[in-house]
Amino acid sequence: MRRRSIEMALAAAGAAFLVTVPWSIPALIDNFWVSVITEILIWSLFAASVNLLFGYVGLLSFGQALYFGFGMYGVALGIDRLGLSFWPAFGLGIAAAMTMALVSGIFAVRLSWHYFAIITVVFSLIFYFLAVSMKPLTGGDDGINFTLPPVFRFDGKAIGLTDPTFQYFFVLAVVSLCFFLMYRLINSPLGKGFLAIRDNNLRASLIGLNVYALRLIAFVMAGCLAGVSGALFAFFGRYASATYMFYQVSGEAVVWTIVGGAGTMFGPLVGTALFIVIREIVSSHWEHHSLIVGLLAILSVIFAPRGIVGLWNSWMIRLTGRETVKKAPSRLTLRAEP
pLDDT per residue as tens digits for the range 170-207: 999 999 999 999 999 999 999 999 999 999 888 988 88
Contacts of residue 326, Cβ cutoff 8 Å, sequence gap at least 6: none
Is residue 4 included in any domain, yes or no? no
- Which residues, 6 or more positions from 315, have their beta carbon under 8 angstroms from its beta carbon? none
Question: 159 in a domain, yes or no?
Answer: yes
Q: pTM of the prediction?
A: 0.90
- Domain ranges, residue 268: 30-333
**pLDDT for res 305:** 80
Mean pLDDT of the chain: 87
d(C-alpha 239, C-alpha 257), whole Å: 26
* Predicted local distance difference test score (pLDDT) of residue 122: 92
Beta-bridge partners for 159: 152
E strands in 103-237: 144-145, 152-154, 157-159
Question: Which domain CATH number covers 185?
Answer: 1.10.3470
Q: Is residue 180, in this structure, part of any structural domain at all?
A: yes
Based on the structure, what is the number of domains in the chain? 1
The Cα 223–Cα 33 span in angstroms is: 28
In this structure, is residue 2 part of a structural domain?
no
For residue 260, the cross-strand partners are none
pLDDT, tens digit, for every residue of 2-47? 777 777 888 888 889 999 999 999 888 888 899 999 999 999 999 9
Q: Does residue 152 form part of some domain?
A: yes
